């Protein structure tokens, strides 16, 4: 079982949830420290640049099978460490410390518009 924090089109009820649904074992709401940005029809999460940055991104912790993580890697154009990836996949902890797992992050948010609510669904 693998934990992944999702915050955009992979959320329950969103356009790409079907990609992970066959491999889904459980869903729990959560939030992580970071900022959310608009990248066309989907969002990108950026980790805090400063240690005292308290902005949060609201999403869901998905518990999935290994096949579910592979399906998400394909969707997110993640080819592995050291490769040219659209998103990077890093380990993260929920802001309350109750969950930890993988998350897909964007490394360069220059020129992108921030979603100040921190919620893809509330944008």
Chain centroid to CA 43: 9
Told to judge if 14 belongs to the known catalytic residues of this protein, a careful annotator would answer no
Structure tokens at 118: 């921190």
Calpha distance 1→53 (Å, rounded) = 31
Burial of 65: CB neighbours in 10 Å, binned 0-12, 13-18, 19+? middle
Choosing from 21, 54, 76, 100, the catalytic residue is 76
- Bridge partner list, 67: none
Token couple for 32:
């992580």
**CA 61 to mean position of chain CA atoms:** 9
| Catalytic residue positions, numbered | 76
């Amino acid at each position: 079982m693998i934990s992944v924090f999702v915050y955009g089109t992979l959320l329950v009820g969103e356009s790409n949830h079907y990609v992970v649904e066959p491999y889904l074992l459980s869903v729990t709401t959560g939030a992580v420290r970071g900022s959310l940005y608009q990248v066309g029809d989907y969002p990108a999460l950026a980790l805090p640049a400063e240690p005292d940055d308290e902005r949060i991104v609201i999403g869901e912790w998905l518990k999935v099978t290994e096949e579910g993580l592979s399906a998400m890697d394909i969707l997110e154009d993640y080819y592995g460490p050291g490769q040219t990836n659209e998103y990077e996949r890093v380990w993260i902890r929920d802001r309350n410390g109750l969950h930890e797992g993988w998350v897909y992050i964007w490394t360069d948010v220059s020129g992108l518009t921030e979603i100040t609510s921190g919620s893809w669904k509330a944008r």
